[in-house]
Structure 1
Amino acid sequence: MSDPHRYEVALRWSGSTGLGWEGYGREHTATAPPAEQEVGLTTGEAQGDKRVLNPEQLLVMAASSCQMLWFLHLAAKARIDVVAYDDDAVGLMPTGEPPVRVTEIVLRPRIRLASDSPVERVDRLVHTAHEQCYIANSLTSEIRVEPRIEHAR
């Protein structure tokens, strides 16, 4: 069996959930270097242009974005002030094992908090967000969330 294809994306958000659910911006960016666009047009493996996002990268981005948006929603409702959220996610698609599909997505959010919110409570919200994420619930791929929770300095 050959090595799986690897699809990496980087998602970025910053702001503050300190004003509650209606007070924070949902705008965020997602990229998958070396792609320069945020629209998937081809596959990056065969004849595709590696500067253009491919559907596999967009799938990983969708899972990452959905997880982040659910987490921010829950954090705002819990009055936890999140000031930054970065996720360096990866999707794996083994080759040579029909049917070919993305079998695993690993989300690695780095979450920075404005105050001394209890890390254990924030960790529970991360896992609740995963349970609520409709993208994760729609996929047969295994999705793991490996958060790093820090207090901003």
Structure 2
Amino acid sequence: MEIPIRKLFPRTQNGFVGVALSEDTQTYNVRVDWTRDRVGKLLIDGKPTVEVATPPEFSGPEGIISPEDLFVASAAVCLMTTFVTFTKKMRFEYKGFTVNGTGTLQKLEKGYQFTKIVLNATVTVESEELRPKAQRALELAGKYCLVTNSMKCETEHINNVVVE
């Protein structure tokens, strides 16, 4: 007998799917102050202030980081940091890591939404023997990246390992 997905992963009061496995909870606080037109400053205690704005495609100024940039960047940064975590656990060294992220924003019935993020990651290792470990660390990073796991849009990971 097939069990409906709702019974396997019940929706919680806040809409998330799944069951909390621990009481370990983190909170992250930010503040945005409007400065002019469609521009503001992002403030996070103990970190550099970042100027933010509506993107140029929506009448914002050129050259200022937008929420759309930050959305895609958060996925890319999380993939990197999760990869680094797994390389530490797997005890292997790599020479380089780069991830290019592309987010697709589309106008849907409910307005604009990200419908897909593609993360194209490349790891550089010293020897062919390290290729399987690097590939596995990339796979695990994609599976456990908490940011992409929290996004409702599709995320695609393209993993590359280069030996130099």
Q: TM-score of the superposition, structure 1-length normalised?
A: 0.68
- Cα deviation, residue 39, structure 1: 4.2
Runs (5+) with no aligned partner, structure 1 = 1-36
Contact preservation (8 Å) 2:83, 2:138: yes
Q: 2:140 aligns with which of 128, 141, 146?
A: 128
1:90 is paired with a residue of what secondary structure? strand
Q: 2:68 aligns with which of 39, 53, 56?
A: 56
1:101 is paired with a residue of what secondary structure? strand
Query: What residue identity is the alignment partner of 1:89?
Result: G
**In terms of Rg, which structure is larger?**
2
Deviations 1:122-142 (A, max 9, x none): 222212112211101111011
Q: Say if 1:38 and 1:44 are closer, same or farther in 2 by CA, change over 3 A.
A: farther
Contact preservation (8 Å) 2:92, 2:133: no
Structure that is richer in strand per residue: 2
Q: Say if 1:81 and 1:38 are closer, same or farther in 2 by CA, change over 3 A.
A: farther
Alignment partners' CA distance in 1, 2:78 and 2:51: 17
Structure that is richer in helix per residue: 2
2:131 matched residue in structure 1:
119
1:80 is paired with a residue of what secondary structure? coil
Tell me whether 1:86 sits opposite 2:98 in the alignment: yes
Considering Cα pairs closer than 8 Å and 6+ residues apart, tell me whether 1 or 2 has the greater RCO. 1
Q: TM-score of the superposition, structure 2-length normalised?
A: 0.64
- Cα deviation, residue 97, structure 1: 4.0
Alignment partners' CA distance in 1, 2:139 and 2:109: 30
- Cα deviation, residue 101, structure 1: 0.8
Query: What residue identity is the alignment partner of 1:131?
Result: K
Alignment partners' CA distance in 1, 2:151 and 2:139: 17
Tell me whether 1:151 sits opposite 2:155 in the alignment: no
Q: 2:110 aligns with which of 94, 98, 101?
A: 98
Q: Say if 1:70 and 1:136 are closer, same or farther in 2 by CA, change over 3 A.
A: same
Query: What residue identity is the alignment partner of 2:96?
Result: A
Alignment partners' CA distance in 1, 2:146 and 2:67: 18
Percentage identity across paired residues of the two chains? 22
Task: State the number of aligned residues.
Answer: 116
Runs (5+) with no aligned partner, structure 2 = 1-48
Alignment partners' CA distance in 2, 1:103 and 1:76: 32
2:161 is paired with a residue of what secondary structure? strand
Contact preservation (8 Å) 1:115, 1:151: yes
